[in-house]
């Protein structure tokens, strides 16, 4: 199965949001165990806007 990951799930993990980190990580782990995870171009753009430079995103 291929699952598209939402920006909010990734932000909860990347920025160690205390309120959402555990839930976000559990969702990622659960779906990763079922197949591939993908990011849409829109999600990538939304994530990229949270970083100062392109090298930080990669």
Give the tens place of pLDDT for each residue, 3-41. 999 999 998 888 877 888 999 999 999 999 999 999 999
For 18, the token pair is 């205390």
Per-residue confidence (pLDDT) for residue 37, from 0 to 100: 96
Per-residue confidence (pLDDT) for residue 41, from 0 to 100: 96
Instruction: Determine how many CB atoms are found less than 10 A away from the CB of residue 12.
Output: 21
């Amino acid at each position: 199965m291929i699952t598209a990951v939402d920006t909010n799930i990734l932000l909860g993990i990347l920025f160690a949001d205390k309120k959402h980190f555990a839930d976000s990580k559990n969702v990622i782990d659960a779906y990763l165990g079922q197949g591939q995870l993908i990011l849409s171009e829109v999600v990538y753009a939304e994530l990229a806007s949270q970083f100062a430079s392109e090298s930080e995103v990669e």
